[in-house]
Amino acid sequence: MLIQQLTIFLENQSGRLAEVTRVLANAGINIRALSIADTAEYGILRLIVNDPVSAAGILKKEGFSVGIADVIGITIDDTPGSLARVLAILEENNISIEYMYAFTGSSRAGMANVVIKVEDLRKAVDILTGAGVNVMTPDEVHQL
């Protein structure tokens, strides 16, 4: 139940993010979620797309530095405390979060989607699933 995320390193130059999105759009790749963090010299763009393998190949062909990483996607109630409950489950099981971000597009009203990266992904999936947290499949993410 792991989903694949693209990690793209971008120089901090005007138009680089636009170029990534243009390349993907021209290839018919749909962006499902996006997170970007920057430093003085470069940015780290994280994308969930409908076809990560094709997208990575297309971007590499265009000269971008791209990697694919496994992450966990979860769907939680869009109510106060829902995320805190999930994070408490991970904390109680000594699972540290490397990064996370939320995205819209849930097919179910009143729900929120969150991408989580932890060191031991399979352990986290087992723990979350056992606790009743909805861990998304790649198909669920790609169909949003």
pLDDT single digits (tens) 45-68: 999 999 999 999 999 999 999 999
**33 and 80 together in one domain:** no
Q: Decide if 11 is inside a domain.
A: yes
| pLDDT score at 13 | 86
Instruction: Quote the CA–CA distance of 32 and 49 in Å, as a whole number.
Output: 5
Instruction: Quote the CA–CA distance of 74 and 139 in Å, as a whole number.
Output: 13
Q: Decide if 18 is inside a domain.
A: yes
What CATH number should be reported for the domain holding residue 76?
A: 3.30.2130.10
Instruction: Quote the CA–CA distance of 52 and 120 in Å, as a whole number.
Output: 21
Q: Decide if 143 is inside a domain.
A: no
Under 8 Å between Cβ of 3 and 72: yes
**19 and 62 together in one domain:** yes
pLDDT category, 12, cuts 50, 70, 90? confident
73-127 tens-digit pLDDT: 999 998 999 999 999 999 999 999 999 998 866 556 788 899 999 999 999 999 9
Q: Of 25, 43, 69, at which residue does a domain stop?
A: 69
| pLDDT score at 109 | 72
pLDDT category, 41, cuts 50, 70, 90? confident
Q: Decide if 142 is inside a domain.
A: no
**36 and 92 together in one domain:** no
pLDDT category, 140, cuts 50, 70, 90? confident
- The model carries a pTM of 0.89
Q: Decide if 144 is inside a domain.
A: no
The amino acid occupying position 134 is: N
pLDDT category, 143, cuts 50, 70, 90? confident
Give the total number of structural domains in the chain.
Answer: 2
**29 and 55 together in one domain:** yes
**79 and 60 together in one domain:** no
**pLDDT higher at 132 or 139:** 132
Q: Which pairs count as long-range contacts for 52-57, CB under 8 Å and 24+ apart, including other chains?
A: 52/4, 52/5, 52/6, 53/4, 54/27, 54/29, 55/6, 55/24, 55/27, 55/29, 56/6
| pLDDT score at 141 | 82
**54 and 93 together in one domain:** no
Give the pLDDT mean for 12-20: 92
Residues in the chain: 144
**33 and 89 together in one domain:** no
Q: Which domain holds residue 52?
A: 3-69
Give the pLDDT mean for 123-133: 97
